[in-house]
Structures are given as structure tokens and as C-alpha cells.
Amino acid sequence: MSDIAIKCEALSKRYRIGEQERYKALRDVIADTAAAPFRRLRAALDRRPETGDGNGRDSFSVGRPSSVAGHSSNSGPRSSVLGQPSADGLFWALDDVSFEVKRGEVVGIIGRNGAGKSTLLKILSRITKPTKGHAEIHGRVGSLLEVGTGFHPELTGRENIYLNGAILGMRKAEIDRKFDEIVAFAEVEKFIDTPVKRYSSGMYVRLAFAVAAHMETEILLVDEVLAVGDAQFQKKCLGKIGDVAKCGRTVLFVSHNMTAIKSLCDRAMELNEGQVRGWGDTAATIANYLQGSREALLRREWQRSEAPGNENGKVLYAAVKNIEDSVELTVETPIDLSFGVLHIKADKLMHLNAILYNQENVCLFTSASKPQTFSAGLLEAQCQVPPYLLNDGSYSVRLIVHYENSDSIDLENVLRFDVHDGAREDWHWYEKWPGIVRPRLDWTFKSI
């Protein structure tokens, strides 16, 4: 028996930007309704494994090797520049991706938004077909791609567990056996017979994740499930994924949480504009990714006509600097964050949030200004990060401009900067200080 669980060869996916569905007339709706039972039957037959690996595990392939005009496996001009749509709107979300994952291995997939991570998992889940290339998966696959898909608001939590479990491929006997465990994990025992339309968003997501996470599959595909829910729920999700990994199941884990990737994954793969940029040791892959994506961005400016914003206001510039006018930002000096906001609607309540993240995308803190009204015109908002708070490392700033009863202006990674270490003559410690922050606290000593 081969020890390979997933094998991809030259996997590629092409989209056409702006392509729209054909308008459906009434006759089309009636025809689709009449054909629905036959589509469901065919889908059920398609879910059966084509072959077996001789050990009771499923084995299937997607995207048999093929050649696409302008993008063959040998040579020839591409129909679009990588990462950008061509003149005719063609866009390669994945381009010639090849890798192997062994049974029982936990692999993290990292990369910027739009790098192709979710597209890869959708192909492996058979949600979409590749344009070119070939993927082999040996084993039953469970997917946590869009948590909560298939939930019906009018049905109770109990009914949705069975409905969603069936959609995800679980057998009724399997759901019966796991039912109490699912409910306990979701912490919705009191409300299990209440329609989910009356659930809070947190309860809804907890129940949806609990169903998906309790599938008994050899291979689990996980896409950014830690991006939702409160901190306690995220910790619980992470623990569940860790338990799955310890059971010897194969896991592909997509996340922007580098701490989670480091703690869970044996190896990591970086995708960049649809191609594999890095593959191998988790720590080394993450380090290369962070180094390549965290170029310093100390000041940004926009022309008024192109500035991000809405009818209430626009952000014209953002800047970070050492208040002592030194070129270098260090742990010892205060750091000034300044933002230029063109306030359009006079006397409308407005406040700013500056959110600071470290290089592993962990939020360090949020600083919010007091909501108040301003006259129309250009405003400069400033806040100061005190000295001896940040550790040496790389940081990014997210700016959110909130307006009363209106949409906010949300700018991620509006600034990026590095904080360097200061003098250490008196410390006799020359490695990086442990910890996310590095405050200088007052110490006192007395003889007793």
C-alpha cells in the first residue's frame, strides 16, 4: 500500500473575470425543478469511489492530465500574466501546482489573500474541477471550507445536525453515534430543539463547526475556520484540529494564524499568485513567507480622487515614524502613528481604531479614539505607541474609520514597519527576548 494520501501534478485552475450566469426564464426554473431528483441521484452515484486501495479506504482522481490552449504542460505563451487577468479576462488562480502529502501528515498552506489556497482545497474537495492537471486522493475526505453551508434557518439544531451531516457525507448511524458529542462540543444543549434562526451568530457557527469537525474521515481539509468566533471558541477549534492530527489522519490546514500553523503542522507550503513558492520545514517556510510579505511601508498617500473611503470621508495618508526623528524604529523610543482623514459630513460622529498585529498576524492591541463630531475638512489623527512596549520584530497596522450609522472605512496592512532592538550592554542577553510585548516594568528590591 502506498503511503501517499494526496498527490497533485501540474494542477491549474483558470477563471474568466466578469463572466455572468445566463438569465433564467420561468421555463428554465420549471425544467430545473423537474430535473432536480435526477441530478441528486447522479450526484449520489458520483460520490461513490471509483476504486479502492484495498484497505477499505476510498480513492479518487480529479482533473485527468490535459492541455489547455495557451497553457500546455510543455510550453507556450500564457493566456494571462500570472496573478493578473489578461485583456480577455482570463485569470489563473492556480498554476502548475505539484506536491505530495503522506498519510498521517499535517500540512499547513499559507499565502496572501488571493494566492489560490481556497481554490486548491475546493479542487481537492471536488467542489470545482481543475482546468489542467491531475490530483489523486486516497481516503475518505472531509472538508471544513465554508462552515454552516446547508443549515436551514427554520429547522431546529437537532434537525440541522442530521441535515448538515448528510450534506457533508456522514451516514445516519455515524451521526447518531456522534450526536451527543457534537452537541456538547457546540455548547447548545439547552437550545438543540430551537430553530437555528433564533441562534446567535456564535451559537450558529459553533454548531456548524461541531458537525463538520466530527466527521470520521482519513483526510481533513480545513480552510480558515479560526477566522470566526470568539477567542474561547477559536482555542477550542484549534484543540479539536490538534486531536484530529494526533489520531494519524491527514490534514491540509489553511490559515493566516502562523502560531497555529507552527504548532499543528509537520510541513508547510506557501502559495504565491497561484504557484508554489515554498515547501518544506514549517518554521523555514513561514520565515520566508513573512520576510517576503512584510516589506516596510512607513508612509502611504492617496490623491483625493483615488483615496479609499465613502460619502462620509476619505483617508488621504497614513504614516509611522520615530518621534525622536531617528530613521530607525527601536524598542526604546516612542512611535507615532498619524492618519489624514478628509471629513466630508460635518457634525457626524466619527472615531478611529488603530489595530496592531505582529508578523504572525496575532493582534497585539486595539486603540480607539473617542467618538466625536468635527467640522468638514482635513483632519490629522495621531496616537503614540509608548517606548518599551513592543518587542523587536515586524508589525502591521489596520485602520478602521467608523461613522455613526454608516459603513466604515477598513484598511488592512495600511502600514508595515520593523522595530529593532536597542542597546544591551547591561543585560548580558543577546538573543531575541521571549514574548509578544516587552514592557519595562518598575522593579524594587529590599532586604528582608
390-447 pLDDT, tens digit each: 988 889 999 999 998 888 899 998 999 888 776 655 654 545 677 888 888 888 899 9
Best-predicted range by mean pLDDT (165-169, 264-268, 322-326): 264-268
Averaged pLDDT of the chain: 80
76-86 pLDDT, tens digit each: 434 444 455 55
* pTM of the full structure: 0.58
pLDDT reading at 316 higher than 90: yes
Q: Strand pairing of 106-110 and 250-254? A: parallel
* Residue 243 one-letter amino acid: D
For residue 103, give the H/E element and its range: none
Q: Are 263 and 378 in contact (CB under 8 A)?
A: no
Q: What does the alpha-carbon distance between residue 236 and residue 379 come to, in Å, rounded to a whole number?
A: 43
248-306 pLDDT, tens digit each: 889 898 887 777 788 788 899 999 889 999 999 988 888 788 766 555 688 999 999 89
Can you tell me whether residue 247 is helix, strand or coil?
coil
Q: Which residues pair with 384 in a beta bridge?
A: 336
Q: How many CB atoms lie within 10 A of CB 390?
A: 22
